[in-house]
Amino acid sequence: MNFYQSKIWKKISKDIFKKDLFEIEIFWKKYWWITKEHKKFWISLNWKQILWIEIPLNYNDELILNDLKKIKSSFTSFWNVFFQLGFINELEQDFYKNRLVLEKNFLKKYWLFKSLRENMPLATVIVDIDKNDDEIFKQFSKSAKRNINKSIKQNIYFCIANEKDINNFYKIWENTAKTKWFNIYDYWTYLKLVYFLRYTNNWNLYLVKKWDTIVSWTIEINMWEDSYYLYWATNRNFTKLWGHYFLKYEMFKYLKKLWIKRVDLLWVSPNWYNNHHLKWVTQFKHSLWWKHIEYYGNYDLSLSFLYKFLRILHFKKWI
């Protein structure tokens, strides 16, 4: 399932996040894309983005190049700096070597540059939960099992968020974002997202609590037999309770009752990239047992001579 091109994510992007969406036909499919804008004084520069594109297996170099030329002819201008394309075709084994070859070929054949910023995950982890509870537990790593057993002794419990929890959770999330220097939605956007997903019955906010205090939380979106792991965190006052390991185990068991068979944990680092910013997140997700998948990744199609200056300056903040 192509989550970031799905109807539910399209509706969230348009109605909740208020993004302008446009459609384009490429590689025999219609994809939706967005324009992002950067303003500085009187100048307004744009870049375009399509996430989760798949190149068909029977597409040859000529067909790929023709489609990219169509994009370039349609969007090239001084104000449109580049078009970012996020590909979900999977790399084969020996990921590092194959990625280097891919980046070299994409540049040589199609003039696609490796993106300055990772706006789509380079890799993901898929957890198979179509098993009985004991089998799910057995597939965890030794450290994950040990931490789950530790957390069970701490009198914590698993539950689904109620109205009070939804408000309390945002305060914890906001505090985590401030201490770890990442951005989250404003409170009203968060509430719109929560109630939209509740209305469509596509989500849950899963919690682990000690007494009535939130220890750990996860937001999931469900689509057919798949669940997508969007956001998660642990209350910094309870890090020694190992609540997030316990939460995942209980959540997997709960999702099974909804006939979910797979959980896509999204956003992990490539397994060869030791200094990747998701290194510690990846270690946690791998401990749940996994099928590690690496995507082709993010590439930029230059639309203006200004793009060269962005690359020279390594101006990641702009995108």
Q: Supply the CATH number for residue 199's domain.
A: 3.40.630.30
Q: pTM of the full predicted structure?
A: 0.87
| pLDDT at res. 104 | 96
pLDDT of residue 120: 84
Distance between CA atoms of 217 and 251, rounded to whole angstroms?
A: 10
Report if residue 291 sits inside a domain.
no
Q: Let me know if residue 187 belongs to a domain.
A: yes
Looking at the fold, whether 12 and 58 belong to one and the same domain comes out as: yes
* Cα separation of the two ends of the chain: 27
Asked if 140 and 238 sit in the same domain, the reply is yes
Residues 139 and 250 occupy one common structural domain: yes
**pLDDT for the residue numbered 174:** 84
Count of domains forming the chain:
2
- Mind listing the pLDDT tens digit of every residue in the chain (319 residues)? 578 999 989 999 999 999 999 999 999 999 999 998 877 767 788 999 999 999 999 999 999 999 999 999 999 988 899 999 999 999 988 888 999 999 999 999 999 999 988 888 889 999 999 999 999 999 999 999 999 999 999 989 999 998 889 888 888 888 777 776 777 889 999 999 888 888 888 888 999 999 889 999 898 899 889 999 888 888 878 878 888 899 999 999 999 999 999 999 988 888 767 778 788 888 888 898 888 999 999 999 999 988 988 788 766 555 6
- Is 288 contained in some domain? no
37: its two tokens: 């804008």
User: Do 25 and 72 fall into the same domain?
Assistant: yes
What is the domain extent for residue 42?
3-117+296-318
Query: Does the residue 265 lie in any domain?
Result: no
Do 113 and 228 reside in the same domain of the chain?
Answer: no
Domain end: 211, 235, 260, which one? 260
DSSP code string of 158-170: EEE--HHHHHHHH
Inside any domain, residue 184: yes
**Residues β-bridged to residue 204:** 220
- Whether residue 134 is found in the same domain as residue 99: no
Per-residue model confidence (pLDDT) at position 316: 59
Residue 290 lies in a domain: no
Same domain, 140 and 91: no
**pLDDT at site 319:** 60
**Judgement on whether residues 68 and 145 belong to the same structural domain of the protein:** no
**Residue 303 and residue 241 share a domain:** no
49/143 same-domain check: no
Contact at 8 Å (CB) between 286 and 125? yes
In a domain, 279, yes or no: no
Alpha helix (H) residue ranges in the chain: 7-11, 61-75, 95-110, 133-139, 142-152, 163-180, 187-200, 243-257, 279-286, 306-313
Nearest residue to 36 via CA among 94, 100, 82, 74: 82
Residue 275 lies in a domain: no
How far is the C-alpha of 129 from the C-alpha of 229, rounded, in Å?
Answer: 14
In this structure, are 225 and 304 located in the same domain? no
Same domain, 178 and 235: yes
Q: What is the pLDDT of residue 290?
A: 81
